[in-house]
Amino acid sequence: MPSNENPKVKKKETTRTFQSVKGMHDVLPSDEPYWERIEGAVRTIAKAHGFARIEPPVLEFAELYNKTSGEESDVVQKEMYTLKTKGGDFLALRPEYTPGIARAYMQNGLSRAAQPQKLVAVGPIFRHERPQLGRARQFTQIDLEVLGGVSDPMYDAEVIAMFHGILTDIKIKNPTVKLNSIGDRVCRPVYKKQLTAYYKAHESQLCEDCKRRLDANPLRLLDCKEPGCEELKENAPSFLDKLCVACSNHFKEVLEYLDEIKIPYSLDPHLVRGLDYYSRTVFEIYAEGAEEEIGALAAGGRYDYLMETIGGHVTPAVGGASGVERLIAVMRAKEVPVGVAGGKAAANAKKVFLVHAGELAKKKAFSLLHSLREKGIAVSEALSKESLKAQLKVADKEGIGFALILGQKEIYENTVIIRDLSNGVQEAVSLDKLPEELKRRLSAK
Ligand SMILES: [Zn+2]
Ligand SMILES: [Zn+2]
């Protein structure tokens, strides 16, 4: 093999240019209107429903997820980012919110406060998945949980309604809710047996993963996306026929509550969700017509047994989560308008832009900016540009309403010129009266 190394040609030292880690994205200024819109919707709805904020740490003991999400779940088996600390602890970057919030509920004695506790969290989640549209390795989840009290179907319906409400609020048209019940400890073993028998009869069609987990966890087979397994799912026995009386009544009531508030849904007797802790209600919400392409926009279910698996008492609970970046992808694809009505120009028509003329004026302009902002008046600038013309050009580009012009003369006279950029009319105003004058003009326009 010829060698690339030629001793006469010195290799040029190259400086590495860094890229973000695969599957992890920057939130950019152009994303901001979407974030604001979504966070606003979540805040409004959470507040209206009496949900309070909780924010567990990003790192938890990895075992917390093994015990709750399940050793066999994709989250634990393939997707969890784990690390060993210098002290020898085995930790995981949270691959979902629910186990950490359940742990926090126990640890902080929230079970002794009024029940149920209604909690909301919004923060980063980490999953080592194959990156694709609407699926990143770091993403942000909106999480809603109702913990404690009794296993009341009303709360299942409330959580579903809240996610439906958030989607509707951010103008995603006709979100479709899919529902199923996966029973409890009484009826699930019976169903599992039937499911195992069904799959055993078709074992040759199954993928290797499914063959392996058939005995341990046949429910997971309903979640498999391999073509052979998907095909088998069609005729698999339905859980809804096998529910015990208590589970059947619970599910019926969930549907009645949803009917009551006119939230449309469809039943999917093979919907399972890939996590071990769910019992009874499981749900997924999709954007109409984007089901295959982008996946569920919100999903969750009831998890009455989770607390027991981490050393607590049986604690009825129901919750769900939604990925912010995925919502943004749908909003972009569907061209959902964000921001103030009338778009950028209308929003900025009320804005103030400070312009300086001369080096001395620049220092003074800087302090004027500061004092106006302290009084709650938003002011933008291009102070690093020297010429008046260049600065005004930026203001024009941004569609600004008023320019404040500060030159030598104004400094000596303790004034500033306000120019209305919509008509070019300008007048000098004393600096003492400026904040008041600006507030007046901004509210009038
Ligand atoms: Zn499979
Ligand atoms: Zn049951």
The domain locations on the chain are 29-187+243-333, 343-438
Nearest ligand to residue 182 Cα:
2
Task: Name which of 135-139, 167-171, 320-324, 377-381 the model is least confident about.
Answer: 377-381
CA of 278 to the centre of ligand 2 (A): 12
Q: Considering the chain, what is the average pLDDT of its residues?
A: 90
Counting ligands in written order, the one closest to the CA of 181 is 2
Give residue-wise pLDDT tens across range 194-237: 999 999 999 999 999 899 888 888 888 998 888 889 999 989 99
CATH code of the domain occupying 29-187+243-333: 3.30.930.10
- Nearest ligand for residue 248 CA: 2
Residue 142 in this model has a pLDDT that exceeds 80: yes
The per-residue pLDDT for range 39-82, each reduced to its tens digit, is 999 999 999 999 999 999 999 999 999 998 888 788 888 899 99
How far apart (Å, rounded) are the C-alpha atoms in residues 92 and 81?
Answer: 6
**What DSSP string describes 298-342?**
EEEEE-TTHHHHTTS----EEEEEEEHHHHHHHHHHTT---SSTT
CA of 301 to the centre of ligand 1 (A): 23
More confident residue, 132 or 85: 85
pLDDT, position 162: 96
Instruction: DSSP letter for 135, please.
Output: B
Ligand 1 centre distance from Cα of residue 213 (Å): 9
Kindly identify the ligand whose nearest atom is closest to the C-alpha of 227: 1
Ligand nearest to the CA of 213: 1
Question: Which numeric CATH code is attached to 343-438?
Answer: 3.40.50.800
Residue 276's pLDDT band, with cuts at 50, 70 and 90, is confident
pLDDT bin (cut points 50, 70, 90) of residue 4 is low
| Helix (H) / strand (E) containing 194 | helix 188-200
The answer to whether residue 120 scores a pLDDT higher than 80 is: yes
pLDDT value at residue 343: 42
Taking the C-alpha atoms of residue 383 and residue 366, their distance in angstroms, rounded to an integer, is: 8
Domains 29-187+243-333 and 343-438 share a fold: no
DSSP H or E segment with residue 430: strand 426-430
User: Would the pLDDT of 3 be above 90?
Assistant: no
How much distance in Å is there from the Cα of 391 to the middle of ligand 1?
Answer: 62
* Range of lowest pLDDT (29-33, 35-39, 244-248, 359-363): 359-363
What pLDDT is recorded for position 345? 45
Q: How far apart are CA 376 and CA 93, in angstroms?
A: 38
